Structure 1
Amino acid sequence: MTLDELDRSLLLLLLEHPRAGLREHARTLGVARGTVAARFLRLQEAGVISGLAPAVEPRAFGYSMLAFIHLDLTQGYLDSVVEDLTAIPEVIEAYTVTGDGDLLCHVVARDTTELEHVIQRLIAVPGVVRTRSQMALTRRIPHRTLPLVRAGRWAPTRTR
């Protein structure tokens, strides 16, 4: 999918003013509401816009600890390990990675005792050989995409 300047402008508005409606964005962009709606739908279907759910902070539920756990896996177990990890609610993200480890899990816990319990659950998953943990101290830059959109370095890419 090739993104044009209208797509970029719409993405900027969606990121800078997420609570405004498409009608408001159409007014700001000076185009018809139907045009904005069609662009929005196209961006969703192409996977450029990946969600509309609110961002919920685990801290609000008492999960003040954040850790990154590297998992070494037995060959051939990746898919089954990932499936088993989805049953552990404290695993909030997981990525296959290069370098040390096969899978990097982003986990949360309320305290060190709970973190140890989560790690023990990870170790118990069939196919997990070893874990290495790193506790995050302070999040310095939250997840963000607005600077990328503002930079506007568009290259034709395939999404999804």
Structure 2
Amino acid sequence: MSLDQLNWKILKCLQSNSRQSNAEIGRQVGISSPAVSERIKKMEDLGIIQNYHTTVSPFEVGYQLKALITIRAFMGMLKPFLEKVKSFDEVINCYRITGNENIVMEVVLKNQKHLELFIDQLIVYGETKTQIVLSHVIKHNPVKPLK
């Protein structure tokens, strides 16, 4: 399926607010609610639309720190880490990356002591580097059409 301008308009609407109704999206893009529904269903079936989710503010639910932690895995420790990381409640995003480090994680933590204890769990897998997030410059920027 090739994404035409209408599909991109629908995706833009959904990326800004996935809870809006098909009727509201239809009004914004100029087609009927059933036509919006049909296009959304096709994009879901093809894996273009993968998920709908709620974003929770970690700070509003009690976390005081957000950090990015990179790991340069020790020889033979990358695969064990890739299994272990799935069990860490602190990790909200984890990426396997290229470059000097193997992993970058976005984590939420209660405080500095929690950060220290979390890093203590990681150092058996490799060398870590931690950056504390001060603020978001761009947050959930929508995917846009290729030019």
What TM-score do the two structures reach when normalised by structure 2?
Answer: 0.85
CA distance in 2, matches of 1:4, 1:79: 41
CA distance in 2, matches of 1:25, 1:137: 35
User: Which amino acid in the other structure matches residue 92 of structure 1?
Assistant: I
The aligned runs of 1:9-158 (5 Å cut-off) are 9-75=9-75, 77-124=77-124, 128-145=125-142, 148-149=143-144, 152-153=145-146
Q: Which has the higher contact order (CA 8 A, sep 6+)?
A: 1
CA distance in 2, matches of 1:47, 1:12: 16
Deviation at 1:131, TM superposition (A): 1.3
CA distances 1:6-29 after superposition (whole Å, capped 9, x unpaired): 101111222344332112222433
CA distance in 2, matches of 1:28, 1:140: 28
Q: Do the aligned partners of residues 10 and 59 (structure 1) sit closer, same or farther apart at CA in structure 2, a change above 3 Å counting? A: same
CA distance in 1, matches of 2:20, 2:126: 48
User: Which amino acid in the other structure matches residue 35 of structure 1?
Assistant: A
Question: What root-mean-square deviation, in Å, do the aligned CA atoms of Structure 1 and Structure 2 show?
Answer: 2.1
Count of matched residue pairs: 147
User: Which amino acid in the other structure matches residue 2 of structure 1?
Assistant: S
Q: Check whether the contact 1:85–1:122 (CA below 8 A) recurs between aligned residues.
A: no
Q: More deviation in 73-82 or 128-137?
A: 73-82
Could you tell me which runs of 5 or more consecutive residues in structure 2 were left unpaired when the two chains were aligned. Answer: none
CA distances 1:20-52 after superposition (whole Å, capped 9, x unpaired): 211222243332333211211222233332321
CA distances 1:101-152 after superposition (whole Å, capped 9, x unpaired): 111111111211011111112224xxx122121222222222311xx43xx4
User: Which amino acid in the other structure matches residue 141 of structure 1?
Assistant: I
CA distance in 1, matches of 2:67, 2:107: 5
